[in-house]
Amino acid sequence: MTEHFLQDPECKVICFDNFDDYYNPLVKKRNIEPFASYPNFTLIKGDIRDRPFLKKIMIDIDYIFHEAAQAGVRISVDDPIKPHEVNATGTLNLLETAKDADVKKIINASSSSVYGKMKYLPFDEAHPTEPVSPYGISKLMAEHYCRVFQELYDLKTVSLRYFTVYGPRMRPDLAIHIFMHRALHNEPITIFGDGTKSRDFTYMQDIVEANIMAMKKGFGEYNIGGGYNITVQQLAEKIIAVARSTSKITYEKAVKGDAEHTSANIKKAEKELGWIPKITIDEGLEIYKKWIQQYQL
């Protein structure tokens, strides 16, 4: 998003982040380094749990793309408090501050993790929400706060339920990054479980486009997914092929809190936002391989 809006000199872009050490903050700094030279870019180090600070900086802001979160299903199983404080209370702080500051709209990054227990596939937005991890609960609470702040206080909001996002600048603790990195080094690739879990993977640029469209219209919740799902086994095999690797696949015990399957019905986003994903998993993996090689990650 930052990259997109910086191209328009009329837009002033503020990047707000606390550089949390959930993963190496140097990765985050490297990701935003190219933006520093833009005159319309400002970096503010701050924490969404700090409401007085949010209040101080919430001046002349039209749109908020709310991506800040304690991400990660697995870590939330070990420490359920922090995801609640950052994702639920942090979002509430943001909404509470924005409603008094004439913000035009908050585009909230939500997650397929809000669905949890699968009743049918693909998930549409009417599917019951019964999260199976503290992370999923915290993201669901954030969605509810967004909806209620529009209904009660007229602060426009929309929540985009991302389905596993990948691509340049992605989180390094996610399977696609780890698998690609290992494949490019011909190291073994470990799958947690037997590889039959499946995911709907969404390419980063498609996520950016969904956010831009949701800035202009839409209210409530929208699935933002690639629109196809593949098993983790198929993913590993695709990555080995893309990387032309000799890596072997090994298996370890499945991890608690991980959903069995995710698959997005994206008709609502198509109909109401005019959004459709453009990048297939094969195209996305090729681009991501080049990115990793370019930056020697």
Specify which residues 199 forms β-bridges with.
Answer: 230
**Closest distance between ligand NAD and the C-beta of residue 9, in Å?**
25
CA dist 3 and 209 (Å) reads 12
- Which residues are designated catalytic? 135
**SS3 label, residue 59:** coil
- Give the integer Cα–Cα distance in Å for 292 and 294: 6
Q: Which is nearer to ligand NAD, 19 or 219 (CB)?
A: 19
Cβ closer to ligand NAD: 191 or 264?
264
User: What count of other Cβ atoms lies within 10 Å of the Cβ of residue 44?
Assistant: 12
Are 196 and 229 in contact, with CB atoms under 8 Å apart?
no
**d(C-alpha 15, C-alpha 279), whole Å:** 26
Q: What is the binding site for ligand NAD (CB under 6 A)?
A: 17-20, 22, 28, 47-49, 67-71, 86, 90, 109, 111, 139, 162, 164-165, 171
CB 108 within 8 Å of CB 146 = yes
Shortest approach of ligand NAD to residue 71 CB, angstroms? Answer: 4
Task: Give the residue closest to ligand NAD by C-beta.
Answer: 69
Minimum Å gap between C-beta 88 and ligand NAD is: 12
d(CA 42, CA 36): 8
Q: Which is nearer to ligand NAD, 17 or 206 (CB)?
A: 17
Smallest distance from the beta carbon of 120 to ligand NAD, in angstroms? 20
The tokens describing 2, both together, are: 């930052």
Nearer to ligand NAD, 9 or 65 (CB): 65
